[in-house]
Structure 1
Amino acid sequence: MFKTKKILSVSISLLAFITCSAAAQSAESAKTPLQYDDVFLLEYASSPAPRPSSEEIVFVRTWMDRQSDRRRSRLWTVNADGSQLQPLTPNEQNAQQPVWSPMGDRLAYVADGQIHMHWASSGRSGQISHLQHGPSSLSWSPDGQWLAFVMFTPEKRSAPVSLPGKPEGADWAQPPIYLDSRQYRADGAGYLPAGYRHIYIMPAEGGTPIQLTSGDFNHGGSLSWALDGSALYFSANRRADEHQQPLNSEVYRLDIESREITALTERYGPDSNPQVSPDGDWIAYTGVDDRKLAQQNQQLYVMRTDGSGVRSLSANLDQHVSSFEWAPNSQGVFIAYDAQGKGNIAYQPLDGELQVLTDDMGGVAYSRPYTGGQFAVVSNNRLVYTQASTEHPAELAVLRMNSSPSTITQLNRDLVAKREIGKVEEIWYTSSVDERDIQGWIMYPPGFDADKQYPLILEIHGGPHAAYGPYFAMELQLMAAQGYVVLYTNPRGSTSYGEDFANLIHHNYPSHDYNDLMDGVDAVIAKGFINEDELFITGGSGGGVLTTWSIGHTDRFRAAAAVNPVINWYSFALNADMYNYFSQYWFPDLPWENPEHYLKHSPISYVGNVSTPTLLFTGESDHRTPISETEQYYQALQLRGIDTAMVRVPGASHALHTRPSNHMAKPAYVIYWFEKYREKNN
């Protein structure tokens, strides 16, 4: 009887297993490839803010509003073990920048341009400010009585000319706009109003903000209080010739009572992001000895609060320190940096060796697979961070020292449950130029079969000093969902492989990075599943540069799509919003001093070689790579009789994916153009 029951039990268990497995396979087979309007299903976690002496973590949950075609953000809360996930702010608020008070009894945050406060004991929230402009860099005083922040402060400037003769009630044209500021426009902001960013403090219970800084200088970045609350530490470029020295900032001490400002650093180069240690003895900050290179690794430094005892903690790390936070015991600093396309978090003691804790931080650049992420210290040397995946945007994870991370949110499980996401595989290959190792990733279309032949899209990152990695990328996934294999790589010039690798293109861009890209295409073709007659190329910004450069040097691609490209360095250097930076750090001379150099590296110089049908896609309000660059190339191709089309995105800046519908439109137009020239259609 016992044996019969046991056999029956095993049979039932086996049947249950088979049933569950079949159900799982059925659910997997029921998934369909991504659709263009799935961009509205994307969500991601960012800005984790652990509550002091608690397991609670507040974070920003960003989602896409289909009705308003906007990204929206809301504060949510979750415990460090993943329990009690719930909203904290109302859905109609666009909330961000959560910062807990030192005692953890209140949470300050910014919503719709005003400072709001959440009281943990009562659960109530409310607006406590009435500011004319949006605040940033919120920072609590150590006693919890004050909030410091940075805010734009306008200056009234009247026009130098007043036109006479206007009759009462006459309908005249808008008057001319007189500009004489050095930085008069910025991508994403357009033409800038007169004024500067200044530091303010305000009582934590609300009230009138008090302006602490003045003058014709911008004060931005992080703010950090002295332990006794008597001073604020900040960074700024307060030089009269700051336009000629755009990166030369210092760390300053601002006395709250006297308003006296004292420089604590003095070297030539950017010193920024000061952060006072929990014991009040040290200031950690990032800095660079400026050598006028296009890519310079930011190091982590510490100094005493009076500016003495300066030393680098990351001198032996040949990577760019992107962010950091003090350990609670003030004996070390947690740092974030990219290495080989992956987001690393490490612990750097004040005296001792670097200890890498994880390499999967990222996921906030959900459009394309760029590196970048955020972290914060919870307590007891635990960290919470944005965790990257190739299958979905950033989730939150908690990490203990010397242990594996634990994912505590699943914001995208609805998307993952209904859609088949293309698999991503790492690839390394050798450059034909100098036998350097080049890293890339292959994204496979859903239902990939290695015995079949597929079209290939080479997708090139921007920057050019940036890096792709093993991250979710909606634009690339949407292209793969249409049956394309997608290759993305980190050619020379990319970050996260050391400063020397990044500067191989210094004053030499584009150049052999083109060869690295073509070698990547050859490496994927060698795998045997690519139709060599169906090769396509695309990229945005710096990727648009390399797209137009490539089709001027090869005819191997059936069609190209260049997104917000630069095609004429001479015009770019005099039209881009950051013209004072680009002209000094990207080029050996000013344009009129060395026009040959500018033209040698401009894709427009090789437009006479182009035979590839080319789509151009750019935002009309792009001030980083202005649409005039696209127009030059479009007209040049039209003069040559090359198949070309131009897509202009009304109101869009360089960050095309800011509006979800534009995020959808970009890959849709790219695929439309490529399908038009597929071999199957000829």
Structure 2
Amino acid sequence: MERIKLDDLLKFKFLSSLTISPDASKVAFVVHEMNQDDNNYKSIIWLYDARTAQLSQLTSSNQDSSPLWLNDSKLLFVSWRDEKDRKRKENGEPLTPFYTIDVTRGEAKRTFELPFFVKQIKKLNENTLLFTAVYDHRLKDFWKLSKDERENVLKTLKEEKDYEVLDEIPFWSNGSGFTNKKRIRLFSYNLQTGQIVPISDELSNVEHFSDSLDGRTVLYVANRFEHVMKRSNDLYLYDLEKNESIKLTHTDNFRYTFAEFIDGKVIFAGSDMRRYGINENPKFYSLDLSSGQVELLTPDFDASLHNSVNSDCRFGSNRTFKVDGKYLYFVSTQWHDAQMYRIDGSGRIEQLTFNKGSVDGFDVLSGKIFFVGLRNMKLQEIYELVVGEEKQISQFNEWVQKERHISRPERFTFTANDGVTIEGWIMKPFGFEPGKKYPTVLEIHGGPKTVYGEVFFHEMQLLASEGYVVLYCNPRGSDGRGNEFADIRGKYGTIDYEDIMQLVDECLKNFAFIDESKLGVTGGSYGGFMTNWIIGHTHRFKAAVSQRSIANWISKFGTTDIGYFFVEDQHLATPWSDFEKLWWHSPMRYANEVKTPTLFIHSEEDYRCWLVEGIQMFTSLKYHGVETKLVMFRGENHELSRSGKPLHRMRRLKEILDWFEKHLK
């Protein structure tokens, strides 16, 4: 077998938007692939026929996404196949073109367009769709205007393109650019009349809306704010016939994760954030609409309700919760796996999947379950869950298993200084020979409340293929083991740093093939913070690559999209309540101690960990005479390594390999 290659990334397939037809006989999903020539991603809709077990490609424009079943054979989807639509979008006009196709025959037809950039769309009933879209206050009721009026509005916006007027925080958002007075708003669309009706108000960000079980009502979660966005939100019930929303919020300062109908009641998940802050794991509740009574269903449940398993081999989004019959199905991360579960109206939870890895998303209908998974160190494939057994039904990435050597992570545990068990992994390099010593790279995940697991991670596989041992662990602060384990508020750079350094010590003690004189370290986001922290507190690493990092918690507070609430929550301090504490936890404070040659990788439009963080650390090291380099990617954001332009992702990996090659070999 050959080793994993850098340009293998261009051949991987990424799967998303899996959805089952109303008669549960077919499954539609999107296959994404990198397009090197155009430096973007192809997106094609595929179909799986459960009756014949046949997979087939349904569309071919390379620009199709977001499939939605209108009936057993008719599929609605978004497509940018028309050059005129693409040019209108490039010129700043908000629109999303929709097509329909009969999956049994015929060609796709352009059916309608919406004068918004649509985020998500669902079916309410035979005649009505619900959708969320970006609402810009400068456009006001754009959808009501005539063609000439719309052109005048767009012309005015173009004339003002050099200005940004800011009067609220956050005023920008990673991946969305400037968001001042822009909201994700909920609308209905009548398929027969073309009428668009706003459901949420102009100042509310809609964070979730449910599937409708009766075709008349829908639940949605929205965060309404002026001037300063708060972390709590509200729950609403919308009635289509009355065209009104009723607030169902049961208490102040509560953060709803999602809400759905089940067994005649509302089941919702959320947290009051009182004990563990904004990252506190949600619990399940039920709400009786007739009495208004709220019941806590899962007092002992202590896990996140999302997939936090890290990988750089995903693209697009997938559903991670849905009601079917008397159950709410959901994905939860526990230890280092993301598995599928279900809960009934009484609060009883069952685990449904057990194989190691990650359930990236699923759909369920009439008891039939299909999911996108990273299983058994494979890249994403489609699976069917049949009587507890996972049946693989696609082979999009099977060539990797057949043609490439995959370094399988070997899990071990060790006991931290205070008695807590920490899990770690080691990956041996390609062509491993007993008795030989190898340079080693320590990887640190972001979050910090995410996890590393046993899934395919191209960056790690590439390092192993280039002759490096790869180490990683889930230190304190990570997800998967409850609130107490994840809670490092006010402790950044202390117990988490100690856990990571103890991982290195344990590996040096137990794996003689690690060359202690050739250790490297890298990580992104929180992992970038920790990389910056490490090089200021130890000289044991001979090279470092700090990605989308944090250097200064004081500047992060005042500049990034989440800074003003994340910094206060995670450090229990603001620049005014405890300036010294924020500075003490800032890696820049220790930059004068750094000796490690360090590469900084940052994206110009990363508003989560803004470019100034990388610049500050880079400047500090240059000032103190440390070998350093900063590589900045234009047109990219915090997601560079996961969904950045293909050529940018390739260049990023090449910069990492070149830096470690220079300093560790």
Range into which the TM-score falls when normalised by the shorter chain: 0.7 to 0.9
- How far off is 1:673 after superposition? 1.1
- How far off is 1:122 after superposition? 4.4
- 2:18 is matched with 48
- How far off is 1:522 after superposition? 1.8
Q: Given the alignment of the two structures, is residue 73 of structure 1 paired with residue 70 of structure 2, yes or no?
A: no
- 1:167 is matched with none
**Please, what is the CA RMSD of the aligned residues?**
2.4
- 2:538 is matched with 554
- How far off is 1:120 after superposition? 4.2
Selected match of 2:352 from 354, 357, 366: 357
Cα deviation digits, residues 242-300 of structure 1 (max 9, x gap): x352x2112101222433221112322112422223x6x12222211221614210223
- 2:324 is matched with 327
Between the aligned partners of 1:641 and 1:376, the Cα distance in structure 2 is 55
- 1:110 is matched with 78
Q: Which moved more, 1:549-558 or 1:661-670?
A: 661-670
Selected match of 2:501 from 510, 518, 531: 518
Compared with structure 1, are the counterparts of its residues 232 and 325 closer, same or farther at alpha carbon in structure 2 (3 Å cutoff)? closer
Selected match of 1:236 from 213, 222, 229: 222
Q: Which moved more, 1:262-271 or 1:584-593?
A: 584-593
CA contact (8 A) 1:153 1:197 kept: yes
Compared with structure 1, are the counterparts of its residues 175 and 676 closer, same or farther at alpha carbon in structure 2 (3 Å cutoff)? closer
Selected match of 1:39 from 9, 13, 36: 9
Between the aligned partners of 1:207 and 1:282, the Cα distance in structure 2 is 32
Paired amino acid for 1:58: A
CA contact (8 A) 1:46 1:394 kept: no
Compared with structure 1, are the counterparts of its residues 349 and 177 closer, same or farther at alpha carbon in structure 2 (3 Å cutoff)? closer
- 1:656 is matched with 640
- How far off is 1:394 after superposition? 1.4
Paired amino acid for 1:357: L
- How far off is 1:353 after superposition? 4.0
Selected match of 1:210 from 164, 183, 197: 197
CA contact (8 A) 1:548 1:567 kept: yes
Cα deviation digits, residues 161-191 of structure 1 (max 9, x gap): xxxxxxxxxxx99764432233321111222
Between the aligned partners of 2:278 and 2:182, the Cα distance in structure 1 is 29
Unaligned residue ranges in structure 2 (runs of 5+): 81-95, 141-158, 307-319
- How far off is 1:675 after superposition? 1.5
Between the aligned partners of 2:101 and 2:187, the Cα distance in structure 1 is 21
TM-score (norm 2): 0.87
- How far off is 1:630 after superposition? 1.0
Q: Given the alignment of the two structures, is residue 420 of structure 1 paired with residue 389 of structure 2, yes or no?
A: no
Cα deviation digits, residues 279-329 of structure 1 (max 9, x gap): 6x122222112216142102233323457343333332211122432232x
Between the aligned partners of 1:110 and 1:360, the Cα distance in structure 2 is 34
* Superposition map of 1:289-328 within 5 A: 289-291=272-274, 293-306=277-290, 308-322=292-306, 323-328=320-325
CA contact (8 A) 2:124 2:130 kept: yes
- 1:508 is matched with 491
CA contact (8 A) 1:360 1:387 kept: no
Paired amino acid for 2:385: L
Selected match of 2:596 from 601, 612, 621: 612
Cα deviation digits, residues 109-158 of structure 1 (max 9, x gap): 3334333333345444323222222223312124x221111122222289
Compared with structure 1, are the counterparts of its residues 175 and 538 closer, same or farther at alpha carbon in structure 2 (3 Å cutoff)? closer
Compared with structure 1, are the counterparts of its residues 352 and 266 closer, same or farther at alpha carbon in structure 2 (3 Å cutoff)? closer
Compared with structure 1, are the counterparts of its residues 352 and 214 closer, same or farther at alpha carbon in structure 2 (3 Å cutoff)? closer
Q: Given the alignment of the two structures, is residue 474 of structure 1 paired with residue 447 of structure 2, yes or no?
A: no
Q: Size of the alignment, in residue pairs?
A: 614
3-state SS, counterpart of residue 411 of structure 1: coil
Cα deviation digits, residues 509-544 of structure 1 (max 9, x gap): 121111111111122222211111111111111101
CA contact (8 A) 2:554 2:575 kept: yes
- 1:147 is matched with 129
Q: Which moved more, 1:513-522 or 1:422-431?
A: 422-431
Between the aligned partners of 1:443 and 1:598, the Cα distance in structure 2 is 36
* Superposition map of 1:152-301 within 5 A: 152-156=134-138, 176-192=163-179, 194-204=181-191, 207-225=194-212, 227=214, 229-238=215-224, 243=228, 245=230, 247-267=231-251, 268-277=253-262, 281-291=264-274, 293-301=277-285
Compared with structure 1, are the counterparts of its residues 576 and 610 closer, same or farther at alpha carbon in structure 2 (3 Å cutoff)? same
Q: Which moved more, 1:386-395 or 1:597-606?
A: 386-395
Compared with structure 1, are the counterparts of its residues 81 and 43 closer, same or farther at alpha carbon in structure 2 (3 Å cutoff)? farther
- 2:380 is matched with 394
Unaligned residue ranges in structure 1 (runs of 5+): 1-30, 159-171, 364-371
- 1:95 is matched with 65
Between the aligned partners of 2:301 and 2:216, the Cα distance in structure 1 is 35
Q: Which moved more, 1:538-547 or 1:70-79?
A: 70-79
Identity percentage over the alignment?
28
- 1:24 is matched with none
Q: Which moved more, 1:76-85 or 1:451-460?
A: 76-85
Compared with structure 1, are the counterparts of its residues 534 and 604 closer, same or farther at alpha carbon in structure 2 (3 Å cutoff)? same
Between the aligned partners of 1:36 and 1:618, the Cα distance in structure 2 is 20
Q: Which moved more, 1:476-485 or 1:191-200?
A: 191-200
Paired amino acid for 1:324: F
3-state SS, counterpart of residue 617 of structure 2: helix
Compared with structure 1, are the counterparts of its residues 415 and 496 closer, same or farther at alpha carbon in structure 2 (3 Å cutoff)? same
Cα deviation digits, residues 225-245 of structure 1 (max 9, x gap): 351x3332211023557x352
Cα deviation digits, residues 317-348 of structure 1 (max 9, x gap): 211122432232x2x32221011110121232
Q: Which moved more, 1:559-568 or 1:194-203?
A: 194-203
Q: Which moved more, 1:353-362 or 1:556-565?
A: 353-362
Between the aligned partners of 2:605 and 2:225, the Cα distance in structure 1 is 30
Q: Which moved more, 1:661-670 or 1:187-196?
A: 187-196
3-state SS, counterpart of residue 358 of structure 1: coil
Between the aligned partners of 2:322 and 2:162, the Cα distance in structure 1 is 50
Cα deviation digits, residues 580-601 of structure 1 (max 9, x gap): 3214422323213211110111
Q: Which moved more, 1:248-257 or 1:80-89?
A: 80-89
- 1:165 is matched with none
Compared with structure 1, are the counterparts of its residues 173 and 249 closer, same or farther at alpha carbon in structure 2 (3 Å cutoff)? closer
Between the aligned partners of 2:6 and 2:52, the Cα distance in structure 1 is 31
Between the aligned partners of 1:49 and 1:452, the Cα distance in structure 2 is 50
Between the aligned partners of 1:190 and 1:373, the Cα distance in structure 2 is 27
Paired amino acid for 2:123: W
Paired amino acid for 1:183: P
Between the aligned partners of 1:147 and 1:499, the Cα distance in structure 2 is 38
3-state SS, counterpart of residue 399 of structure 2: helix
Q: Given the alignment of the two structures, is residue 450 of structure 1 paired with residue 445 of structure 2, yes or no?
A: no
3-state SS, counterpart of residue 574 of structure 1: helix
3-state SS, counterpart of residue 369 of structure 2: strand
- How far off is 1:192 after superposition? 2.8
Compared with structure 1, are the counterparts of its residues 115 and 284 closer, same or farther at alpha carbon in structure 2 (3 Å cutoff)? farther
- 1:567 is matched with 551
- 2:414 is matched with 429
Paired amino acid for 2:655: Y
Between the aligned partners of 1:157 and 1:44, the Cα distance in structure 2 is 35
Between the aligned partners of 2:425 and 2:55, the Cα distance in structure 1 is 34
Paired amino acid for 1:153: Y
- How far off is 1:452 after superposition? 1.7
Between the aligned partners of 1:582 and 1:407, the Cα distance in structure 2 is 40
Paired amino acid for 2:353: T
Between the aligned partners of 1:205 and 1:118, the Cα distance in structure 2 is 17
Between the aligned partners of 2:385 and 2:328, the Cα distance in structure 1 is 15
Paired amino acid for 1:212: I
- 1:19 is matched with none
Between the aligned partners of 2:544 and 2:582, the Cα distance in structure 1 is 23
3-state SS, counterpart of residue 99 of structure 1: strand
CA contact (8 A) 1:244 1:580 kept: no
- 2:472 is matched with 488
